[in-house]
Amino acid sequence: MDFIRIAVELSVGFISLFIVTQLLGKTQITQITPFDFISALVLGELVGNALYDPEVGVDKILYSLTLWGILIYLLELITQKWRRSRKILEGRPSLVIYEGKINRKELKRSKLDINQLQHLLRAKGAFSIREVEYAVLETDGSVSVLKKHGFANPTNADLSIPYSKPQLAVTLISDGDVIYENLEEFHLTVQWLLLEIKKQGFHNPSDILLAEYQQGKSLYILPFTEEKL
């Protein structure tokens, strides 16, 4: 009976967690703050701890997940409706480098040391602090960097390169499987795809790890170089 109970509670908890995370939105992952991280852990713990407590039934699991989900949703709603609450509930970005100089006060407030700052800057392609004019520590712990003039990458406008409309690259074959919905979206046919891969010496999509299509360019193909899993 314990195995049946665990199976039922785990299934209910799994479905409930999926529904809650879908309702809360993608910011739980893509723009995660320290509080978001803790709330995600609590959601998992609510289900995990309940599985091995015989006195906790499905009704209590659903109640706990629903109540916690409502509290998080209300918090997100508050930060969306009232701008002044964001500073308290989500924190605020910190200008840790200003006009090439490190703001030690902001570093101390953010509990960030020099070595951690250097690590974050290297992740953004700035391998020396001397390259940085401004650096902003975001609320999710990442750093946004604006390099000094001498270290900034030139733009097409700077180089006077004629305008060319950017073209989106779309995957047509992935792990040997044809992605038919992408073919349909770009008004391409399977016959056209097979012809294109034959031009590059391939006879079957199953021989191709990745095939990308970009309008105006030839099909980019990466074959399997090792044994397929």
Residue 170 burial (CB count, 10 A):
16
Chain centre to alpha carbon of residue 65:
24
* pLDDT per residue rounded down to tens, the chain (229 residues): 567 766 776 777 777 767 766 665 555 444 555 566 666 677 677 667 666 666 766 777 777 777 777 777 777 777 677 766 666 656 678 899 999 899 989 888 888 888 888 999 999 999 888 899 999 988 777 899 999 988 888 888 888 888 888 788 899 999 899 999 999 988 999 999 999 999 999 989 999 999 999 988 889 999 987 554 4
pLDDT the model gives residue 229? 46
Sheet holding 143-147, edge to edge: 101-102, 94-98, 132-137, 143-147
Query: How far is residue 143's CA from residue 125's CA, in Å, rounded to a whole number?
Result: 11
Please give the backbone phi and psi of residue 186, each rounded to the nearest 5 degrees, phi first.
-100, 15
pLDDT the model gives residue 147? 92
pLDDT the model gives residue 7? 76
3-class secondary-structure state, position 226: coil
pLDDT the model gives residue 28? 46
The DSSP letter of residue 141 is: S
